[in-house]
Amino acid sequence: MLKALEKLDRRWIFLLMGLAVAVPILVIGITGKTFPETPTPLAQAVFDAVNDLPSGSKVLLSFDYDPASEGELGPMATSLVRHCAEKGHKLYFMALWPVGPRMVQQNIRRVIQADYPDYAYGEDYVDLGFKAGNEAVIKVIVTDFKQYFTTDSRGTPVEEIPMMREVRSVQDVDLLVNVSAGYPGSKEWVLYASTPFGVKTVAGCTGVQAPLMYPYIPKQLTGLLGAIKGAAEYESLVNTWIRERRFAAILEAGGVASAEATDLATDFVKSPGAAQDYTVSAAAAALSPETKTALVEAANAPIPGKYLEGQRRMGPQLVAHLLMVMLIIAGNVIFFMSRKRGGAQ
């Protein structure tokens, strides 16, 4: 058996890796279930930075990536836009990459226009488009926004956009959010905006870029989402928070005290059947049939797939990484056994 493993055709390894990627994709696609995510402090810091702002705060989102990095960065950008919209923040979109506006428009269509139709363009969100100049753009708009951005992406003068009257420079925003695949991106925003002017900043970046950003945490950079893992963690935080919020709203509308509603909502999210059990318990006797029905519907409502992309993509990555670890261990075991028997030297 040892000799057979030593001479194993590498195509069997390729087949195993193909199955390790394909099977989780198929299982997750059919069942809709994903692996649970435990958020790291960095992802939690990004969530808290957005969540702790009062409703109506001004958030500047610079999407500096292209379709080549969408696999890693798209899910975190989508969740960031959703979280900000759910909080009722005013969103200022821009890009330092030529293809960035496509990423901005994609998220506006998928999130704001699809799920937040009450968000009005020019009052709740604005797309300022792309400006060439790399970090030179940051150096200018950090003190004088309108020197570079005289119109939005539609050609409307910024003076005619109501929400732009409140912003004279980047220093006027409450939070800077950057999703970046390289240069110019998170490092430039940290060097020319957050460090010299104290602009509160969070970022999302590719896996190869993340180690370069760690030294800036936590002073210049409040939080960081690294690659698809960071995206999945943040996605899980946002999905959980929104479900808890909706459960609590239903309970409070049904007459349950705010503190009790919050505790119950947390339990409902942790256990899928808890809401159903609660509606038939003595504790829910005072609730109206409409409230009970709304709780059950909220418990059974699936999370839209576009808000699960990060967690879905973590499945194949997790299984593939486990296979790689097992193959490395197996390779070393075979090597040392062969050497012990007088084989490989």
For the cut 80, the answer to whether the pLDDT of residue 177 exceeds it is yes
Q: Are 85 and 91 in contact (CB under 8 A)?
A: yes
Q: Nearest-CA neighbor of 50 among 247, 200, 166, 194? A: 200
Q: Which parts of the chain fold into alpha helices (H)?
A: 2-6, 10-31, 41-51, 70-87, 100-107, 114-115, 135-141, 145-148, 186-189, 195-197, 210-213, 227-253, 258-270, 274-279, 289-300, 309-340
The first and second tokens of residue 186, run together, are 């998170």
Domain contains 253: no
Averaged pLDDT for residues 95-117: 96
Lowest mean pLDDT among 26-30, 68-72, 119-123: 26-30
- Give me the domain span that covers residue 100: 41-233
Q: What is the pLDDT of residue 19?
A: 93
For the cut 70, the answer to whether the pLDDT of residue 343 exceeds it is no
| Single-letter residue type at 58 | K
- Which one is predicted more confidently, 322 or 7? 322
Averaged pLDDT for residues 143-162: 92
Q: What is the pLDDT of residue 1?
A: 72
Tokens 């000799």 sit on residue:
3
* CA–CA separation, 171 and 179 (whole Å): 19
Model pLDDT for residues 260-302, shown as the tens digit of each residue: 999 999 999 988 789 999 999 988 888 999 999 999 999 998 8
Q: What is the pLDDT of residue 330?
A: 87
Domain contains 136: yes
| pLDDT over 70, % of the chain | 99
Residue 21 banded pLDDT, cuts 50, 70, 90: very high
Domain contains 244: no
* CA–CA separation, 141 and 137 (whole Å): 6
- Which one is predicted more confidently, 332 or 237? 237
Q: Are 268 and 250 in contact (CB under 8 A)?
A: no
Domain contains 265: no
- Which one is predicted more confidently, 12 or 177? 177
Mean pLDDT (the chain, rounded): 92
| pLDDT over 90, % of the chain | 78
Q: Nearest-CA neighbor of 80 among 49, 123, 119, 102? A: 49
Helix (H, G, I), strand (E, B) or coil at 156: coil
* CA–CA separation, 269 and 230 (whole Å): 21
* CA–CA separation, 178 and 262 (whole Å): 32
Model pLDDT for residues 211-249, shown as the tens digit of each residue: 999 999 999 999 999 999 999 999 999 999 999 999 999
The first and second tokens of residue 126, run together, are 């604005």
Judged by phi (left if over 0) then psi (alpha if -120 to 50, else beta), residue 152 lies in beta
Q: Are 283 and 260 in contact (CB under 8 A)?
A: no
| CATH number, domain containing residue 47 | 3.40.50.10160
Q: What is the pLDDT of residue 339?
A: 79
CA 102 to chain centre: 18
Residue 17 banded pLDDT, cuts 50, 70, 90: very high
* Residues 158/110/174/40 CA torsion (nearest 10 deg): -160
Domain contains 74: yes
Domain contains 61: yes
Stated length of the chain: 345
Supply the pTM of this predicted model.
0.89
| H, E, C per residue of 10-30 | HHHHHHHHHHHHHHHHHHHHH
Domain contains 268: no
Number of domains in the chain: 1
Q: What is the pLDDT of residue 223?
A: 96
Q: What is the pLDDT of residue 102?
A: 95
Domain contains 195: yes
The first and second tokens of residue 65, run together, are 């990536």
- What DSSP state is assigned to residue 304? P
Residue 166 banded pLDDT, cuts 50, 70, 90: confident
* CA–CA separation, 177 and 194 (whole Å): 11
Averaged pLDDT for residues 91-115: 96
Residue 183 banded pLDDT, cuts 50, 70, 90: very high
Q: What is the pLDDT of residue 345?
A: 47
The first and second tokens of residue 310, run together, are 């990060």
Lowest mean pLDDT among 103-112, 117-126, 314-323: 314-323
Q: What is the DSSP string of 109-147?
A: IIIIIHH-TTPPBTTTEEEEEE-SSTHHHHHHHTT-HHH
For the cut 70, the answer to whether the pLDDT of residue 146 exceeds it is yes
Q: Nearest-CA neighbor of 223 among 185, 182, 190? A: 190
User: In the Cβ-directed half-sphere of 31, how many Cα atoms lie within 13 Å?
Assistant: 11
